[in-house]
Amino acid sequence: MVGGTRGAALVMVVLALGCSARSQLSPELRWSSELASTVKVVPNVSYGPRSRQTLDFYLLSTPVPPPVVITFHGGGWTAHSKEEMNLEILPYLALGFSVANVEYRLAQEALAPAAIEDARCALHWVMANGADYYVDPTRLVLAGGSAGGHLALMAGMVSPDGEFDAECGSVSVAAEAGRPVDAILNWGGPTDLEELTQGPHARDFALAWLGSESDLAERARRYSPLSYVHAGGPPVLTVHGDADTLIPYTQAGRLHAALTEAGVKNRLVTIAGGGHGGFDGEAVAGAMAAIQAFLAECDELEHP
């Protein structure tokens, strides 16, 4: 999710999604107590050789290994960290998913496409090693907000063994061959980077990440999710505010139209009057209910 959604709103969301109540504590404390008793945190697991190529596991204690959501933080590829996602992963835990919360290289360390490469390597690593951490890597969802939404889309939509996989080193991509991820949850992520490099929607953070080489337009297209829409791709649910002044809402609409034309299962959840994240509790609750319904339609996620 994007833009500093408050913890209280998220607690309301997970309560609305059916958390159990078995004590005399308040609903919020009941939920916190029950969830805390079933989650094991394994921080800073390396998925690659570089210092920022780490992820934090939030692992549910369940009778069988649960499905996993791989999350990517936002920040325009130039800022923020996985630790700032701690509150935003709670609804996924409440829905019965363990979480792998990914750190990746920012523009100050490496320009595009380094963050995409890291997202791909994290995906490969979880597919290859997730079972060792008691998650089911055959039931896997990618999620992120803003730049993290872009990375979730790119990680799930590009072809295995493509240009973004060369940096994965010893991590085998064999686990992904022939099997796309089960779903992608995109909270306000940019889908057309070329639009963010010129004209009225040009953004400094996009230019800072893409660099200033003469082939900027071509690279922006190559690093855009819209360039990778294809028949048979993973289902995509996009949440986007129609008053977003940072990433144009029209980008979400164009992705929705392209996926629909390609025959890819997808849904666009529009937050009326919503900006770039920071949605109120009611809007977040509605979006999470839509996500819950969307994921329930994925048989692979429902049946191990």
pLDDT digits (tens, 9 = 90+) for 229-244: 999 999 999 999 999 9
Q: What is the pLDDT of residue 213?
A: 80
Q: What is the pLDDT of residue 160?
A: 78
Q: What is the mean pLDDT of residues 42-57?
A: 96
pTM to 2 decimals?
Answer: 0.89
Q: What is the mean pLDDT of residues 9-36?
A: 43
Round to the nearest angstrom and report the end-to-end CA distance of the chain.
Answer: 27
Residue 41 has pLDDT above 60, yes or no: yes
- What domains can you pick out in the chain, each with its CATH number? 7-302 (3.40.50.1820)
Q: What is the pLDDT of residue 301?
A: 74
- Answer for the pair 106, 53: CB distance below 8 angstroms, yes or no: no
Please state, as a whole number, how many other Cβ atoms lie within 10 Å of the Cβ of residue 143. 27
> Tell me: the pLDDT tens digits for 147-203?
999 999 999 999 876 789 988 875 555 555 556 799 999 999 999 999 999 999 999
Distance of alpha carbon 295 from the chain centroid: 14
Of the given ranges (8-17, 109-118, 158-167, 186-195), which has the lowest mean pLDDT? Answer: 8-17
Which residues on adjacent β-strands are paired with residue 236?
A: 184, 266
Cα separation, 125 vs 133, in Å, equals 12
In the chain, the percentage of residues whose pLDDT exceeds 70 is 83
Residue 26 has pLDDT above 60, yes or no: no
Please state, as a whole number, how many other Cβ atoms lie within 10 Å of the Cβ of residue 29. 12
- Nearest-5° angle of CA 37, CA 84, CA 71? 75
The mean pLDDT value of the chain amounts to: 87
Residue 105 has pLDDT above 70, yes or no: yes
Q: What is the pLDDT of residue 136?
A: 96
Cα separation, 165 vs 112, in Å, equals 14
Q: Which amino acid is at 188?
A: G
Taking the alpha carbons of 269, 100, 173, 128 in that order, is the dihedral positive or negative?
Answer: negative
